[in-house]
């Protein structure tokens, strides 16, 4: 595997690009964190994660002190995160909120419930970018496992390539962590990375909507 892209290197953290298909933690082979530690020749401390099929931005602390502070930001929802997803079916609504408790389903998947005791909360916009392909810009307001994948499935528009949730087979799962922003040491920092893998993401990045989504925090959430 080639070197991972480094988006930013701060004394307290590194922002790096995780390709799709790379496990975050080591399993039978070295995972993203271990490989990046080798690449940078330094110890790194995970403060959040991405599913194996999801590409995009990951923040890794460079000390246990920074890790504790960053973990607090993530758990207290003080990190603004935005994702791109592609779907082939028209969602039940073009934009808006998806809210509901999540429960384990079969074969390692999850499902959205109608109850609202500790709900997963997501807001999204969607736009057609090609025949039979819609792009979604998604902002999770909670941090549940598979949250965005379940949200789109619940709208009858599973993510392209996400066969576990009923999506059409494709060269990858079309979910990408595109933008991260948070305050650190009194400064507001933002980072973004366009998706590198997947032929259908190539359609998105040449579409006008891609440019209009480059400053996602300026949209209405």
Q: Is the dihedral of CA 13, 16, 168, 136 positive or negative?
A: positive
C-beta of residue 120 within 8 angstroms of C-beta of residue 150: yes
Q: Which of 51, 89, 101, 208 is catalytic?
A: 51
Token pair for 145: 């496992």
Number of CB atoms found within 10 A of residue 130's CB: 14
Per DSSP, 165 falls in state G
Annotation says 89 is catalytic: no
E runs forming strands in the chain? 6-9, 13-18, 45-46, 55-61, 80-87, 95-100, 102-104, 110-112, 120-130, 133-140, 175-184, 187-192
Nearest one of 84, 110, 82 to 179, comparing CA atoms? 82
Radius of gyration of the chain (CA): 17
C-beta of residue 151 within 8 angstroms of C-beta of residue 122: yes
Q: Is 68 helix (H, G, I), strand (E, B) or coil?
A: helix
- Residues belonging to the active site: 51
């Amino acid at each position: 595997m080639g070197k991972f892209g480094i988006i930013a290197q701060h004394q307290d953290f590194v922002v790096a690009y995780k390709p799709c298909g790379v496990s975050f933690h080591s399993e039978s082979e070295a995972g993203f964190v271990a490989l990046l530690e080798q690449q940078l020749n330094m110890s790194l401390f995970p403060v959040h994660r991405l599913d194996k099929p999801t590409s995009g931005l990951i923040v890794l602390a460079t000390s246990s002190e920074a890790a504790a502070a960053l973990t607090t930001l993530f758990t207290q929802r003080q990190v603004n995160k935005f994702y791109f997803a592609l779907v082939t079916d028209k969602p039940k609504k073009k934009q808006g909120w998806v809210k509901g408790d999540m429960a384990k389903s079969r074969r390692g998947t999850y499902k959205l419930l109608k109850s609202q005791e500790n709900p997963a909360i997501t807001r999204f916009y969607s736009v057609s970018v090609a025949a039979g392909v819609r792009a979604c810009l998604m902002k999770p307001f909670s941090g549940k496992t598979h949250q965005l994948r379940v949200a789109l499935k619940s709208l009858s528009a599973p993510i392209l390539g996400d066969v576990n949730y009923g999506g059409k087979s494709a060269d990858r799962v079309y979910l990408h962590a595109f933008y991260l922003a948070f305050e650190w040491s009194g400064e507001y920092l933002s980072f973004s990375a366009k998706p590198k893998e997947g032929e259908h993401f190539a359609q998105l990045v040449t579409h006008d909507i891609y440019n209009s989504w480059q400053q996602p925090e300026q949209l209405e959430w």
